[in-house]
Every structure is written in C-alpha cells, then in structure tokens.
Amino acid sequence: MSDKVIIFDTTLRDGEQCPGASMNLREKMEVARQLERLNVDVIEAGFPVISDGDFDAVEKIATEIKGPKICGLARCVAKDIDAAGAAVKPAGERGRIHVFLATSAIHREFKLKKAEEEIIRLAVEGVTRARGLVKDVEFSPEDASRTEPEFLARVVQAVIEAGATTVNIPDTVGFAVPDQYASLIGYLRSNVRNIDDAIISVHCHDDLGLAVANSLAAVKAGARQVEGTFNGIGERAGNCALEEVVMAIKTRGDFYGGLHTDVVTREILKTSRIISRMSGLHVARSKAIVGENAFAHSSGIHQDGILKKRETYEIMDPEEVGWGGTELPLTKHSGSHAMKVRLEHLGFHLSDAQLKVVYDRFKDVGDKKKFVYDDDLAALVEDSMTSDSETYTLDYIHVTSGSTTVPTATVRLKKGGETLQDSSPGNGAVDAAMQAIDRIVKRHGHLAQYSVEAVTQGRDSLGEVTLKVDFGNGDLITGKGASTDVIEASARAYVNAVNRTELLQGRKAAVAAAPI
C-alpha cells in the first residue's frame, strides 16, 4: 500500500452546500487558486448539472488550475455524467468524474424504491458511462456507513470491475464511530476480491463531532484518500476538517507509520482565511490549527514553559501552518504595486481590472485611517468580490439620523449598467438603509443575526459587519461588508446577502438531491 494519503478537497462542492455559503465565480476561483498553492491532490469543483453557473465554474477551474485533479460530481444519471465529463474536459488527464448512488436500506426503500440488484445495475452503468469520458472515475455508495456490509461489498466489487479507480465509503449522515468505521474499511479490504485495484476513500460528516476521528481511523485501517473541507464547512454540522487530518498525520507520524500528505502546510492558515472570507463563514477562535486561540497561551505556567522550551506546551510549530511573520501595514501614500505585492503575499492574485477596484477602495480607506493592515486589505478584496455583472453593487448611501429626526436612508445600487435608487425611513440608520435596499431589489429580508467587529485594532479600524438574513425562502443567507463607517458596512453586508440569495436560487432543489 502507498504511504501517501490523498487529500480530496470538496470545499467548492460540499462546503458550498452549507446554508449561506454560496460563492460567485470570482470567489470560487480565489479558493481554487489557493487550493492549488496548498497542493491538494483533488479539487471537487462542483456539481456541473445543477446549473449553468456551476458548470461554468467547474469548466473554468478545470481550464485554469494546474496540478490538482479536477473533479465534477454526478448522480448515476446520464445527463449528470455527461455534464460532469464536459465540465472537467479542459483538465485532460487530470479530469475526474465522481458518481454516486445511495445503497443503505433506508435509502433503497424510502428514497429510491429500488431493490439491491437494481442498485448494482445502476451503479455499474454509471461507472461504465463515466469511464467512457474520463480514465479517472470515483464511485460513492451514499450512506455507506449504514449499508449492510455484505451488500456494500457486492456494490464495491461490481463498480471496481466496471472501471472505478477510487471507491469512496461516505459516512453521509455522520452516523459512524471510529472503531465501527475502521472495521467497515477492514471488512471491505478482506471481502472484496479486487479491492487492491482501486483506492479506498472516506468522506465523513461531523454530526456527532467525529468526522476527523472517523477519517483518521479509516486511514489507519487502509483508506488512502480523505475527503473534506478546510475549516470543516459543509452541510449540517459540516465535513471532516482537512487541516486537522493533515496535521494529525504529520504530527503523529510515529502512530501513523510514516504516512504523509503532499500538502504545503505553511499555506494552511492562508487557505483557512481565504475560505472564511469567500464563504462568509467565521472560524471559531478555539478551532484547532487555524483558530485565533490555537497557539495562544494565557496561563502563567504555560507561558513560562513556552519561553523555556516551546515543545513543553506546543506539539506543533505555529509557523508550520502559516502563523507568524511580520505584517507591514500600508498607508494612503502606498502605490498600487505595493498593494498588489501585499495582496499576493496574502494569497490574492487579481487581474488589473480587479486591482483597480480594490485600489480605489484602498485609497478611500487610506484617507480615513493612518495604516491599512493585512486584514483590512483582505476585507476590501472580499468586499469587491460581490460586484459581478449579474449582482448588485453599492454605489452611494446617504443617511440622516438623530435623536429628534426620523432616520432616513437614500441608497443607489448598480446592476450591470443599470443604476437603481430609492429612499426609505427606518427604526434606525441601519434599518433605513436595509429597507431602502429591499425597495430597490424587490425583496423583503428578515434580519436574523447582526454583528459588527473591528477588523484591526484602533479607533480608526475598518468595521466588518456580518449578518444573516431570511428572504422568505427558508435559508439564512450570510452577508459581510467592511468600511470605516458602520452604516456603510451594514449596507454592503446586506447587499452581499442579496447577491448570495440571487446566486442560490435555482440550485436548492438539485443540491438537496445529492447530500453525500
């Protein structure tokens, strides 16, 4: 068996299925470029058949990203498989089609209403069709951890015979526990006669908080591909957090018998932060590896030990995952080239047109505060990424407010070449701005959560607003915006949420059919 554990990142597919995390094309490309720098082995770029937007994103990633294999998801349905094959075609030999079909008794009876032999036939037909389009085919028996082991072994053997090069054993609903999951991998290795003709993969969800533990137990039992997302984002409680798997294998090489990944670990923190900004999902301070407190020590005893010898209370060197380094703040006198170099250091590689948009905002911010720090720059880049031609962008906002006047906001938005403007009173300045935006976009959003925090230290810091909005479709949509003015930041965040819900429309039903 190989000593390498393949890292399969599904941030752009399963991670994006997390409510409120939908990304536009620019945001997806920033994530994909960072995953390329991180050197993951496989990028599952999306579910091409869902929409033209998903197809275009997978095709663009397959065209521009070099190095990792580019994968498209498909049900065992001809139109899905054909769409995935066409989308990953620009990747050439690096293209992969990932087909799936539910196999557990509960799915067979209540969702598919099909017998065991029919499931095997459909799985084989799906893999065979995919092999006609690409050489690299992965098959997933959905809900494998709740499938009868004997039947699962029959399915796995049949799809390998049909040409599957990777067989994924997903814990779709986060039901497994480590010992049982490892035993299932062991059972397949012992009872599928052609198991060595394919790589065993695992895809674990975190409903019981065991996704990483289950994945590592499976690796110990012989799995050689781990699927997940950075920051652990994904449906319900999320996916296996890949940064934890990578660093567990690296840190505990003694236990994992020399297994390794090819991930460039110094890019992990940068990856985490880019994904957090592009998805609009915060990383908890206490999150392992990438949380702000991951290497913080407040106890006097711990601080004393760290000063004497770091390893007394740190099992990893923070620099190994990207912590540390000197931050060189920019000022309003800094030129566009200096800003570009700093953005590239942060992992953002923008076109000249995109740099101009960010630089214009940078100059505005530079006029209002003494220094522009790395987090300020990242917030400005994120803020600029909602300005695709099919989405709304904030062009102007004017608010009147005070203790003796009715708060009123006038907002002007742009959508492509169209300029839209309206005004509205409100219960406060923020409410007035949001109601004016509602009038323009012809939606009514219910604000479920609202928070504002300083991006950096100091009274002149950028304020970053994060909010969650329900536009009446049952989803809480996350929006983020940044400005030195909190009212403007709130308006930007609300427009960001509007853009995300526009992106989400038309995808919900198709995504619901594929909760691997």
Read off the pLDDT of residues 172-183 as tens digits, 9 standing for 90 and up.
Answer: 999 999 999 999
* Cβ 168 vs Cβ 192: under 8 Å: no
State whether residue 328 is helix, strand or coil. coil
Encoded tokens for 238 = 């999320």
Residue carrying the six token digits 């920051």: 231
How many Cβ atoms sit within 10 Å of the Cβ of residue 449? 10
CA distance 488 to 482: 8
Burial of 207 (0-12, 13-18, 19+ CB in 10 A): middle
pLDDT per 10-residue tile (average), the chain, 516 residues: 93 85 86 97 96 94 97 97 98 98 96 95 98 98 98 98 98 98 98 98 98 98 98 94 98 94 96 89 90 69 56 79 73 85 83 88 82 81 63 91 93 92 96 96 92 76 87 83 90 89 65 53
Q: Where in the chain is the domain with CATH 3.30.160.270?
A: 392-504
Residues of the chain with CATH 3.20.20.70: 6-287
pTM as predicted: 0.81
Task: Report the DSSP beta bridge partners of residue 463.
Answer: 454, 483
Please give the CATH number for the structural domain made up of 392-504.
3.30.160.270
Going by the annotation, the residues of the binding site are 14, 203, 205, 239
CA end-to-end span of the chain:
26
What's the alpha-carbon Rg for the chain, to the nearest Å?
24
CATH homologous superfamily of 6-287: Aldolase class I (3.20.20.70)
Instruction: Provide the annotated binding site for Mn(2+).
Output: 14, 203, 205, 239
Q: What are the angstrom distances between the C-alpha of 377 and each of 276, 329, 365, 402, 482?
A: 15, 10, 10, 32, 10
The 10s digit of each residue's pLDDT in 342-401 is 888 787 888 888 899 889 888 888 887 778 888 788 878 877 775 544 578 899 999 999
Give the integer Cα–Cα distance in Å for 479 and 491. 10
Angstrom distance (rounded) from CA 84 to CA 101 = 15
- 463-470, strands of its sheet edge to edge: 446-454, 463-470, 476-483
Residue 228: closest CA among 241, 245, 214, 237: 241
Residue type, 340: K
Question: With contact defined as beta carbons under 8 Å apart, do 172 and 516 qualify?
Answer: yes
